[in-house]
Amino acid sequence: MLDVVVLVSGGGTNLQAIIDAVESGSITNTRITGVISNNKNAYALLRARDHGIANRCISPKDYASREEFNEKFIEAVDEWKPDLIVLAGFLVVIPPAMISKYRNRIINIHPSLIPSFCGTGFYGLKVHEAALSRGVKVVGATVHFVDEGTDTGPIILQKAVEVELDDTPEILQKRVMEQAEWKILPRAIDLIANGKVTVRAGKAIVSQ
């Protein structure tokens, strides 16, 4: 059984996609043991409560220094003894000590086809604004392992989504969520839970 801790900052739509997939059986051999948010008002925490999932808020604002927050944050994650940590719209920088401790056991969903529109400053609507500004015809989403860089870890799954003529950033964001993010993030978790993802020479090898 793969024990998963999900980290989220906002509404938690990707968290909901994971919960739904676990409950429907499309994610197998997996349970969500905890949800952590840096935002006490995050709707994601209510989603967790509604499904009987342990949850808590740990915010950098509540600590005198980032070092103290990082220490308490790692302690909180460790308490749930996760086999996998999922970043589902988590807007806090992951401490290097956590990345090292959970090497190739932290995954992130990013709303673009990495290496396009990724890295520092590319998150949320900013990704879709940049894509539309550039005039690309295809966008998408990527699930990748987290390393010390920003969106630079081994890529597990990607799914393309076509840009339509009248797209706004908001419309495009919604379509990328529905057609890509909510599909490949649960799929990646299921693959990992069933031993079908390995990392070799800095690349993720997926056997489906």
Q: Residue 146 and residue 133: Cα distance in Å, rounded? A: 27
For the chain, state the CA radius of gyration.
16
156 and 197 in contact (C-beta within 8 Å)? yes
Residue corresponding to tokens 């905890």: 34
Helical packing angle, 13-24 and 182-193, nearest 10°: 50
Annotated catalytic residues are 110
Alpha-carbon separation of residue 197 from 24, 46, 89, 149 (angstroms): 22, 31, 22, 21
Picking from 171, 169, 180, the residue whose alpha carbon sits closest to that of residue 127 is: 169
Record the tokens describing residue 50, joined without a space. 């509604």
